[in-house]
Amino acid sequence: MVALPSIERTPDGRRLVVDRVVDADAETVWTVLADTERWPEWGPSVSAVRSDDHYVESGTTGEIQVAGGP
């Protein structure tokens, strides 16, 4: 059985948490999620990512541009 995604928002509306169960091992999932250049491919709300690091790791900083945002 696959769980349906749950969505939580903080009172200020700035945080969105989505959780899903996928049929893949943790390493494969992290490789996909950490690749900032591919975020616009699987996250339609992400229109651009600017970061010095191609992959997210501890200490990574950058900017994410979302559709309809500045």
Residue written as token pair 């999620």: 33
- Position 1 scores a pLDDT of 45
Domain count, the chain: 1
The pTM of this model reads 0.56
- Position 3 scores a pLDDT of 52
Residues of the chain predicted below pLDDT 50: 1
- Position 35 scores a pLDDT of 92
Domain with 70, as residue range(s), is: 24-70
The answer to whether residue 63 sits within a structural domain is yes
Q: How many CB atoms lie within 10 A of CB 7?
A: 8
Report the amino acid identity of residue 8: E
Q: How many CB atoms lie within 10 A of CB 66?
A: 12
Phi, psi for 52 (deg, rounded to 5): -75, -20
The answer to whether residue 19 sits within a structural domain is no
- Position 27 scores a pLDDT of 93
- Position 53 scores a pLDDT of 84
